[in-house]
Structure 1
Amino acid sequence: MALINNTTGLITETNTPGKKYLIPFILITCLFFLWGMAHNLDSILIPHLKKACQLNNRQSTLIDTAVYLAYFLMAIPAGMMLKKWGYKNSIIVGLLLFAFGAILFVPAADMRAYTMFLGALFIIGCGLTILETAANPYATILGDPAGATTRLNLAASFNGLAASVAPVIGALFILSGKEYTSDQLSAMTDAARSAYLQSEASAVKLPYIILAVVLMLVAILFYFVSFPEIKGQSKETSTGGSFFGVLRHKHLLMGVIAQFFYVGAQVCVTSFFIRMANQGGGLDEKTASYYLGLYGFLFMLGRFVGTALMRFVSSPKLLSIYAVVTVALCAVAVLGQGEFVIYALCALGFFMSIMFPTIFALGINGLGEDTKPASSWLVMSIIGGAILPYVMATVIDFNKDQIQPGYIIPLLCFLFILYYGLSGYKIKKQLIA
């Protein structure tokens, strides 16, 4: 029998743990899909707003910077919110912030104001930070601790589903397929050029309005459904939940660094995917977005396959194997030619798929009451997605707008992830006594 707290709406006791955790786990899994949609629509927004707002490479990567800077700045408040308000209430706040940012796309598009788009994306990033800070550790503790990594990878598989759906939505509703050179734009009349650019900017409104409505409906659902608030019960060494104290755990510190490089690498790959397919493979932007959808499908497939493989292969070993393959695929992207480069980028989706949830689960392994602040650090490390794409854009600009040399940046990132899978994940004595 379950006992429900009438004040908080949380389940505090039950004799049927399977039933207690099933519905919350399903709803938490939906969150992975929703924030996956947001992140993967960014990969469409970068080339689209570059065109609509007439941006250069570095300016276009500020889309990534706005979202992932929010992760960095919001991570500590999100962790404090999680400790004070618990998982359920924090998730509702995150959903509402996410929805508000999506709604702001309407005035941003009407004014064709890139700074307003960036502001809206920053607010979306704040909402995503709260959701990820809550949902990632919550997925790991909704059940047997031995299955934490597998459970997180299963939930994150629906993030992969979003990676395959978002590019298709972008191709159908956002990308116009109309591409003009600078000379062609200059030859247009002012009225014709303004009308074209405005139509490109306005294309983002409908998808983001629909997204905002869905988010508000999900927030209402979370409000009325009861969720178990899990308390830390680990007997492992704890620093009492101190935010800075958790860095005494070396495996967490290495996990934070590995997550910084992973997120940076993933964002680098997807942010320049469409332009790489266009420049290297001669594809138009709509066709390139469908290949990005293939990347997303392989990302999703990799999550499911990886989750299944973890029944037979330890998660650190599988992480190491995948890291080796991603290094090799990045080398093909840098040195290869034509369609082989596009296929290598698509294949990266499969082998990157398990990295975020696996690093996350390994990083918080055995932390007990330190799990919530540790989660904030791992989410804060997502700042890599704000920094490394800009570094990649700089490499591209220095190479006269050639995209391929820029993929040396994710290659270097995957080398550190290989180290983490081989050694860095191991739980050792605290760095500070």
Structure 2
Amino acid sequence: MEHTSSTALRPQSGAATGNTGPLVIITILFFMWGLLTALNDVLIPHLKALYTLNYVQAMLVQFCFFGAYAIVSLPAGALIRKIGYQSGAVTGLVIAAAGCALFYPASMSGYALFLLGFFVLAAGITILQVAANPYVTVLGDPRTASSRLSLTQAFNSLGTTIAPILGGVLILSAGAQQLSGTVNEAASVQKPYLVLAGALLLLAVLFAFARLPKIEHADDGVVQLDTATRASVLAHPHLLMGAIGIFLYVGGEVSIGSFLINFIGEPHVAALAPADAYHYVSYYWGGAMVGRFIGFAVMRYVSPGKTLAFNAAASIALIMVAIFGHGQAAMWAILAVGLCNSIMFPTIFSMALYRLGKFTGQASGILCMAIVGGAIVPFVQGMVADAVGLQWSFLVPAACYAFILWFGLRFAGLYLAGESEN
């Protein structure tokens, strides 16, 4: 297949060496937005019970959170091109801190202000994603970009693994101990999110003074195609299909996480109350963390596309067990999907960005905008759950993984094909 990159995104002269430090700093950002994103899985059942919501209404949390990606991603790409990757990351951290701070007045107001807080928080995280993901892809050999992103995403998964435990202890358990009443129960989110706001502001200050290499576009000697093809980033099939893959992957992963506590609470599954079920959400996200460390090693020897296809097929099989099974088998099957999710985002992302050169920044914005799947897919699953039941609604994420299976097989030879052009 064709690869149209005539320029490559890379550190400026003099900054190409010593990539370990910058990767460590970027990895901290991955950890923070993993923590913040996975806290939604704890807040959804909490707010659902608090405001007596149906599944569709409860999924407005993810709709507002991931909807920010659709609205903010492309402007974030333009912002980063203007102020640079490092300043863009600092801006994202400050905005995310403001979103966390909004949870304090929301706890004394109502559901609508919570939704606004989720949107602002996600807007900040979106800017971080647009800045950090391409940064990782250029800090080393392009052939191992998937491997590096898998490693940094492993720490993102560490954040998502810790988040349900922290949220369960600080929000669900604390909420259960509160006196009855919406205001009193909602107040359990105040301290955790104020602490997070402070941590994000501190990280913004530290990041502003960190010594990171600036990034520029430079000629990489790859075969150039005609001007008409190079003129548009949308002319690259692997980018377009990768954007759809990101949309469906994030949608499927977020949707499963959003419904986990309620699924585990089903009478024919484990019949656990939310204050007891939150522990198991950490297994879902923890599986992704373990899998990313494994993927970091495996994809140095196995085609990223083939690895992606294998994991997608395994996800579909596990979801089928969860849908048609019951008891412990159904519960552990759906939790095990987290292990399969492990390498999907970094693999799809880096495959889609492969050899886009000067289009990398714009393409990253498009891919981050595709994360809006996390808003749409859970909303669709919520409608299905309200209509036919929660267990059958998991056919929605299963359909998402079917496309990812095809994408992995279709572009399994992407890297080999690209390298043969040199």
TM-score, normalization: structure 2? Answer: 0.91
Residues 426, 122 of structure 1: CA spacing in aligned structure 2 closer, same or farther, 3 A cutoff? farther
TM-superposition CA deviations, 1:14-46 (whole Å, max 9, x none): 2x7442x22111010001010001110011111
Give yes or no for contact 1:41–1:167 (8 Å, CA) kept in 2.
yes
Post-superposition offset of 1:92: 0.5
Within a 5 Å distance, the mapping from 1:268-283 to structure 2 comes to 268-279=255-266, 280-283=269-272
Deviations 1:91-130 (A, max 9, x none): 010000000000000000022x111010011011111110
Specify which of 112, 131, 136 is matched with residue 134 of structure 1. Answer: 131
* Range moving further from structure 2, 243-252 or 262-271: 243-252
| 2:380 alignment partner, one of 382, 385, 391 | 391
Distance 2:72 2:226 in 1: 22
Whole-angstrom CA distance in 1 between matches of 2:370 and 2:225: 21
Q: How many angstroms apart in 2 are the aligned matches of 1:177 and 1:425? A: 48
How many aligned residue pairs are there?
Answer: 402
**Divergent runs of 4+, >6 A:** 177-180
Cα shift readout 1:359-394 (whole Å, capped 9, x = no counterpart): 000000010001000001100001111111111011
Q: Does structure 1 residue 247 correspond to structure 2 residue 234?
A: yes
- Structure 1 residues 74 and 426 mapped into 2: Cα distance closer, same or farther (>3 Å)? farther
Post-superposition CA distance 1:130-170 (Å, at most 9, x none): 00011011011112222211111111101110121001001
Contact kept, 8 Å, 1:255 with 1:424, in 2: the verdict is no
Which range is displaced more, 420-429 or 165-174? 420-429
Shift of 1:197: 2.1
Matched, 1:122 2:119: yes
SS at match of 2:395: helix
For residue 120 of structure 2, what is the amino acid of its counterpart?
I
Equivalent pair of 1:251/1:426 in contact (CA under 8 Å): no
Query: Structure 2 residue aligned with 1:226, among 202, 211, 234?
Result: 211
Given that 1:48 and 1:175 are in contact with CA atoms closer than 8 Å, whether structure 2 keeps it comes out as yes
One-letter code of the match for 2:240?
L
Whether the aligned pair in 2 keeps the contact of 1:243 and 1:374 (CA below 8 Å) is no
Query: What is the TM-score with the length of structure 1 in the denominator?
Result: 0.88
| Runs of 5+ consecutive residues of structure 1 not aligned to the other structure | 1-10, 181-191
Return the offset for 1:346.
Answer: 1.3
Query: Which of the residues 138, 141, 161 maps onto 1:144?
Result: 141
Whole-Å separation in 2 of the counterparts to 1:74 and 1:244: 23
1:85 corresponds to 2:70:
no
Q: Partners in 1 of 2:175 and 2:337 — Cα distance? A: 28
Kindly indicate whether the alpha-carbon contact (under 8 Å) linking 2:54 and 2:386 is maintained by their aligned counterparts in 1. no
Match in the other structure for 2:287: 298
Mapped to 2, the partners of 1:238 and 1:218 lie a distance apart of: 42
Distance 2:391 2:170 in 1: 28
SS in structure 2 of the partner of residue 232 of structure 1: strand
Residue in structure 2 matched with residue 42 of structure 1 by the alignment: 40
8 Å contact kept, 2:176–2:185: no
Q: State which of 384, 397, 415 in structure 1 corresponds to 2:402.
A: 415
- Note the residue ranges of structure 2 that are not aligned, 5 or more in a row: 1-10
Aligned CA RMSD, in angstroms, stands at 2.3
- Matched to 1:198, the amino acid is V
The equivalent of 2:6 in structure 1 is none
What SS is found at the alignment partner of 1:74? helix
Which residue of 2 is the match for residue 23 of structure 1?
21
Which of 303, 311, 335 lines up with 1:322 in the alignment? 311
- In 2, the alpha carbon distance for the partners of 1:258 and 1:426 equals 17
* Whole-angstrom CA distance in 2 between matches of 1:104 and 1:57: 24
SS of the aligned residue for 2:265 comes to: helix
